[in-house]
Amino acid sequence: MARKRDEPVRLTRIYTRGGDRGETSLGDGTRASKLDPRIAAYGAVDELNSTLGVALACGVPERLREPLERLQNELFDVGADLAVPWDGPEGPEASPAEPAAPSRKTESRKATRGRLRVTQAMVDGLERLCDAFNEDLSELRSFVLPGGTEAAARLHVARAVARRAELRALEADRACGVNPLALVYLNRVSDLLFILARAANAEAGVEEPLWRPGG
């Protein structure tokens, strides 16, 4: 049964022994190798989420806390999306008429319909945050080097991990197909984290280190 949005997840036991031989379950219950590109993709998203947790625990300017906490929650939604096999857009307008004898593909579509998926609204939300925080920043005069305050440096680490998560998701898309909006979302995440890293330095009144070619 598909989980509804905002429905809490109940975990009664952490270890299951089901993955002891190198396999795990995808979000729809099908078994897959732990070397499957989808596993690598949502594993990288999990790593990204953890780097954000470290940044928050070590302290960020108060103005950045709520957007980062929201981003952490949405990244779990992204992981849930990547964990469920993609079979094209969902919804009445995207669903073909039911054949007399349902095919395996149709049954798969039924099984995954209603799952958590990245939406255009989520992408739009990231773009609004990018615009809002970038508006207050000085014009870029060169490439920014990771550093300045500890918060900014940690957000730059998260930005780099976000780029890697996007690459893993692209590999999964090439191998199996994923929600295209998940790819767009991860691309925007790295943009947002770059802007928030700059904002962390600006909020602290610390000049950001800039690249001096050959210098």
Q: Which position has the higher pLDDT, 213 or 32?
A: 213
Whether pTM exceeds 0.85 = no
| Placement of tokens 């060169």 in the chain | 142
Let me know: does 201 contact 61? Beta carbons within 8 Å: no
Does domain 32-86+114-203 fall under CATH 3.10.105.10? My reply is no
Report domain extents, the chain: 32-86+114-203
Per-residue pLDDT band at 96 (split at 50, 70, 90): very low
Write the DSSP string, 153-179: HHHHHHHHHHHHHHHHHHHHHHHT---
The helix-helix angle for 62-83 and 150-175 (nearest 10°) equals: 20
- Summarised one tens digit per residue, pLDDT across range 124-180 is 999 999 999 999 999 988 999 999 999 999 999 999 999 999 999 999 999 999 999
- Percent of residues in the chain assigned helix, strand, coil, to nearest 5: 55, 5, 40
